[in-house]
Amino acid sequence: MQPVLTVAVLWMVFAGTHIGLASAPLRARLVARLGEMGFTLLFYVIAAVSFAALIAYYAAHRFDGAPGLSAASLPLLRALLMLLIVASFMLMVPALLGYARLPSALFGQAIGTPRGIERITRHGFFAGTALLGIAHALLAAHLVGTVFFAALALFSSVGAWHQDRKLLARRGAPYAAYLAATSAVPFAAILAGRQRLVWRELPIRRLLAGVAAALALRIGHDGLWAHDGAWITGAVVGGGALALINAWRRSRRVRRPARSAPASA
Contact 122, 131 (CB under 8 A): no
Decide: residue 107, CB within 10 A, 0-12 exposed, 13-18 middle, 19+ buried.
Answer: middle
pLDDT, mean of residues 117-143 = 97
pLDDT attached to residue 263: 40
CA pair distance 122, 57, nearest whole angstrom: 32
Confidence of residue 7 (pLDDT cuts 50, 70, 90): very high
The number of CA neighbours under 13 Å toward the Cβ of 8 is: 9
Residue 259 pLDDT exceeds 90:
no
Residue 57 pLDDT exceeds 60:
yes
pLDDT, mean of residues 158-179 = 94
Instruction: Name the residue ranges covered by the structural domains of the chain.
Output: 67-255
3-class DSSP string for 185-210: CCCHHHHCCCCCCCHHHCCHHHHHHH
Distance set, CA 135 to CA 1, 150, 152, 203 (Å)? 22, 9, 11, 24
Confidence of residue 60 (pLDDT cuts 50, 70, 90): very high
CA pair distance 118, 121, nearest whole angstrom: 5
| pTM for the model | 0.90
Q: What is the pLDDT of residues 194-242, one digit of tens each?
A: 999 999 999 999 999 999 999 999 999 889 999 999 999 999 998 888 8
CA pair distance 186, 163, nearest whole angstrom: 17
Q: What is the radius of gyration, based on Cα positions, of the chain?
A: 20
pLDDT attached to residue 244: 80
CB within 8 A of 138, min separation 6: which ones?
A: 69, 71, 77, 81, 146
Span of 14-28, 83-97, 135-149, 155-169 with lowest mean pLDDT: 14-28
pLDDT attached to residue 71: 95
H or E segment and range at residue 2: helix 2-22
pLDDT attached to residue 158: 95
pLDDT, mean of residues 118-140 = 97
pLDDT, mean of residues 38-58 = 94
